[in-house]
Amino acid sequence: LADWNATEVDYGQPEPVHRRFERQAAAHPEREALVFGDRCLSYAEFDQAANRLAHALIGQGVARNSLVGVAAERSVEMVLALYAIQKAGAAYVPIDPEHPEARQQQVLMDAGVDVLLTHDAVVNRLPALGDLPVINLDQLDVSDQLASAPDIELHPEQRAYVIYTSGSTGKPKGVANTHAALFNRLQWMQAAYELGEGDVVLQKTPYSFDVSVWEFFWPLMVGARLVVAPPGDHKDPAKLTALIEQERVTTLHFVPSMLSAFLTQDDLTGCASLRRIVCSGEALPKDLQDEALRRLPQAKLYNLYGPTEAAIDVTHWTCGQEERTTVPIGRPIGNLQIQILDSRLNPQPVGVPGELYIGGAGLAQGYHGRPDLTAERFIPNPFKPGERLYRSGDLARWCADGTIEYLGRLDHQIKLRGLRIELGEIEAVLREAAQVTDAVVIARNEQLIGYVQGSQADTEALKVALKQHLPDYMVPTHIVALDAFPLSANGKLDRKALPDPELGTADYEAPQTDTERTLAALWQE
Ligand code: AMP
């Protein structure tokens, strides 16, 4: 086990990754850095624009260690904001405009951002912000700001970004990640996958997920081109294919569910430029792996594993190197260690399932403003005094060759189409409602089903309440009101005995008009 964790590698002195970008900009100012729609910025143009914005932010009081919110759609301004915030010495907090107002507000309040950056596309959709200073980047004139980088000393242990994930007690929690951890993760990725100047990386992951962090920063550290997909296009396989073909994208990320949707297209000839497909976020099924390797043979396929709490990814696997029955999550990346432990923190022998713990250079500072939760999940490392281990809640086991197999979750956190959901967070919203004495949410056949105890509960009203508090993907497809929850012999909730929702069939009415008859016939077919 010690050998498998001997991952020490010297990636150089940790530094904020935007410094690497600045050196690229100085060395190759004319090269194309950022493409969005018909806009294209060279390395020099992008660097100078980010510098100007950084100086403007500093002028507004943003300082080392500030937190700055960003509420934006994918755009040039969004990427500029992320770089400028770091250049100003601060850390960014994505406030996803796709999320309901109540959740945006919750995140803003919890993070206590000093200022919120936004732009025309979302400024009218923002929640009530009280006296929080807001800067609309489309209206901000930075032309009189300095074009050179602000002279800010950043410590590697300072925060680079704070990303909120679903929290089991009903409130999203902010994970504060450091520059040192991000540096290590991106240096590993570069050493492993060798992005070159001729490469083109597609940015399509919503910026409230940490996968987006490598998409934003890795390409510009090494002189490659960053192509930002238009808002919404990440969900549309045909549009993605067209963009890949047009921009000759070489490198992109898919959560496995989206890779599967992508591969339903008959014609992938437009994807000839693809060289690297990086999967992560949920288990990569073997059949999907095989199909991807078969249909896109010119591209390498990678399976990465990791939580937001450990700077994006902590293990890696290159698919198709050898015949296996499942796709493993592979081995720890540089300077990270994986421990698979029993409930007393003893290492499990090879082949025996246990909880996966993460140690080393990737660990987050912890949860923003939550020392209690941080202490619970980031525990003292029993094998390396003075260091910490992050307790992932994932079940895994070592294989005999030192690779790791992912086996599932130990708690009620789930992944639905790659999105991380604490079922407890949905339950907390349901429990708030009138007439509801208890609530439980389960995932069955890729759908969320919410059960409330209290037969008087108004399930339609519950759905409305859920939509006000939670992003769409967390709102259960069905809500079922029960008199009482089924219990097992020892008095615990018997999840398996929860009834399937009755799919209310509306009273039958025969089709009336020609159009209705044609439609009905089509559906019957
Ligand atoms: P997130 O913080 O959104 O990245 O979610 C982290 C969780 O996603 C992990 O704790 C795992 O449960 C799951 N996960 C991430 N990557 C993988 C993978 N390659 N295979 C299986 N599960 C994964």
Predicted local confidence at residue 349, as pLDDT: 96
Q: Which of 351, 352, 411, 342 is nearest to 382 (CA)?
A: 342
Q: Does residue 491 carry a pLDDT above 80?
A: no
Region 368-381 average pLDDT: 97
- Which helix H or strand E contains 117, and what residues bound it? strand 115-118
**Contact between 316 and 333 (Cβ < 8 Å):** yes
* 186-203 residue pLDDT tens: 999 999 999 999 999 999
CA 236 to chain centre: 18
Region 57-68 average pLDDT: 96
Percent of the chain predicted with pLDDT > 90: 87
Ligand 1 atom closest to 329 (CA)? 19
* 411-439 residue pLDDT tens: 889 999 889 999 999 999 999 888 898 89
Task: Give the C-alpha separation, 251 to 224, whole Å.
Answer: 10
Region 127-138 average pLDDT: 94
Q: Does residue 308 carry a pLDDT above 80?
A: yes
Predicted local confidence at residue 510, as pLDDT: 85
Percent of the chain predicted with pLDDT > 70: 99
Task: Give the C-alpha separation, 19 to 363, whole Å.
Answer: 21
Best mutation site among 304, 305, 314 for ligand 1 pocket (most ligand atoms within 8 Å of CB): 305
Tokens linked to 512? 């009336």
| Ligand 1 centroid – CA 137 distance (Å) | 34
Tokens linked to 170? 């009903």
| Ligand 1 centroid – CA 15 distance (Å) | 27
CB atoms near residue 463 (< 10 Å): 16
Q: Does residue 506 carry a pLDDT above 80?
A: no
Predicted local confidence at residue 27, as pLDDT: 98
Strand 276-279 versus strand 300-305 pairing type: parallel
Tokens linked to 182? 């991000």
Q: Does residue 145 carry a pLDDT above 90?
A: yes
Local confidence band at 525 (pLDDT 50, 70, 90 cut-offs):
confident
Q: Does residue 492 carry a pLDDT above 80?
A: no
The dihedral built from the CA positions of residue 289, 356, 211 and 193, taken in this order, carries a sign that is negative
* 323-343 residue pLDDT tens: 899 999 999 999 999 999 999
| Ligand 1 centroid – CA 115 distance (Å) | 31
Local confidence band at 347 (pLDDT 50, 70, 90 cut-offs):
very high
Local confidence band at 266 (pLDDT 50, 70, 90 cut-offs):
very high
Q: Does residue 490 carry a pLDDT above 80?
A: no
Q: Which of 220, 205, 177 is nearest to 278 (CA)?
A: 205
Q: 416 vs 1, 127, 444, 500, CA distance in Å?
A: 32, 27, 10, 19
**Contact between 74 and 228 (Cβ < 8 Å):** yes
Nearest alpha carbon, ligand 1 atom 5: 307
Find tokens 């067209």 and name the residue: 242
Mean pLDDT of the chain: 95
Task: Give the C-alpha separation, 472 to 356, whole Å.
Answer: 30
Region 272-299 average pLDDT: 96
Q: Does residue 520 carry a pLDDT above 70?
A: yes
Predicted local confidence at residue 321, as pLDDT: 87
| Ligand 1 centroid – CA 521 distance (Å) | 43
- Which helix H or strand E contains 18, and what residues bound it? helix 17-27
**Contact between 464 and 457 (Cβ < 8 Å):** no
Predicted local confidence at residue 126, as pLDDT: 94
Q: Does residue 175 carry a pLDDT above 90?
A: yes
Q: Which residues line ligand 1 at a C-beta cut-off of 6 Å? A: 165, 280-284, 303-305, 307-308, 329, 392, 394, 406, 409, 415, 420
Task: Give the C-alpha separation, 463 to 465, whole Å.
Answer: 5
Task: Give the C-alpha separation, 370 to 388, whole Å.
Answer: 16
**115 strand-pairing partners:** 68
| Ligand 1 centroid – CA 307 distance (Å) | 6
Nearest alpha carbon, ligand 1 atom 4: 307
Task: Give the C-alpha separation, 327 to 301, whole Å.
Answer: 11
Local confidence band at 391 (pLDDT 50, 70, 90 cut-offs):
very high
Q: Does residue 505 carry a pLDDT above 80?
A: no
Local confidence band at 507 (pLDDT 50, 70, 90 cut-offs):
low
Task: Give the C-alpha separation, 93 to 397, whole Å.
Answer: 34
Rounded (10°) CA dihedral 108, 111, 117, 118: -30
